[in-house]
């Protein structure tokens, strides 16, 4: 069966510090991968998605970037965090057209 991992679960970082969040999927090959951010009490904002290794599409211009160095690994990064980067970061995967998405447990980021 497929599983998706994210770490860390929680993170407190000062403004201006770098960020690296990792997501890995097990039990499937060539998944579509997604990074979402959810502000407190709000909806799901798609940040990046990837259909294959090295293929990244950005949805929202910001100081975040994403990379997919391996088929089942998706990384979200920032060189300098802003207060507005605080939120619940979710990684998800799916297979193909109109397929359901499965979410990882998420990383709760607080920028102070």
Stretch that binds other proteins, among 21-29, 63-71, 78-86, 102-110 (CB under 8 A): 102-110
Stretch that binds other proteins, among 14-22, 60-68, 71-79, 96-104 (CB under 8 A): 96-104
- Closer to other proteins by Cβ: residue 65 or 94: 94
CA dist., res. 41 & res. 2, Å (int): 29
Residue selected from 25, 81, 90, 109 as contacting other proteins according to rule CB under 8 A: 90
Beta strands in the chain (DSSP E): 3-7, 10-13, 19-26, 32-38, 45-52, 55-58, 64-70, 73-78, 87-94, 102-103, 107-111
Site pattern 39..68 for other proteins (x: CB under 8 A):
---xxx-x--x-x-----x-----------
């Amino acid at each position: 069966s497929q599983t998706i991992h994210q770490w860390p679960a929680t993170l407190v970082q000062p403004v201006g510090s770098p960020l690296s969040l990792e997501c890995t999927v097990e039990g499937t090959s060539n998944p579509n991968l997604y990074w979402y951010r959810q502000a407190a009490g709000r909806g799901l904002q798609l940040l990046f998605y990837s259909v294959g290794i090295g293929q990244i599409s950005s949805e929202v211009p910001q100081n975040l970037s994403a990379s997919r160095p391996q088929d089942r690994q998706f990384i979200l990064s920032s060189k300098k965090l802003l207060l507005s980067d605080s939120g619940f970061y979710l990684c998800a995967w799916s297979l193909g057209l109109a397929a359901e998405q499965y979410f990882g447990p998420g990383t709760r980021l607080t920028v102070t």
